[in-house]
Amino acid sequence: MPVDPSQYADPLPQALVLTAIVISFAMTALFLVVLLAARGLTGTDHVEGTEPDA
């Protein structure tokens, strides 16, 4: 009994979507870690809109 390959789903789109989800989760986690580290070093999360005078 021959198997018809058109009966099966293509795994490539599923793999790409899963990869995109994992990468977006990792980028969000990295952003939060950098944000919390910057807040811990400066003691505030306020961002000035102008450059300080040197």
- Written as tens digits, the pLDDT of the chain (54 aa) is 788 878 888 899 999 999 999 999 999 999 999 999 988 888 887 777 776 665
Position 35 in a domain: yes
Position 25 in a domain: yes
Position 4 in a domain: no
Q: What is the pLDDT of residue 9?
A: 84
CA distance 32 to 37: 8
For residue 42, give the amino acid letter.
T
**Structural domain harbouring 30:** 16-40
Q: What is the pLDDT of residue 12?
A: 94
Q: What is the pLDDT of residue 54?
A: 56
Instruction: Please give the structure tokens belonging to residue 29.
Output: 């986690």
Position 8 in a domain: no
The continuous run of DSSP H or E covering 20 comes out as: helix 11-42
Position 54 in a domain: no
Classified as helix, coil or strand, 44 is: coil
Tell me the whole-structure pTM to 2 decimals.
0.66
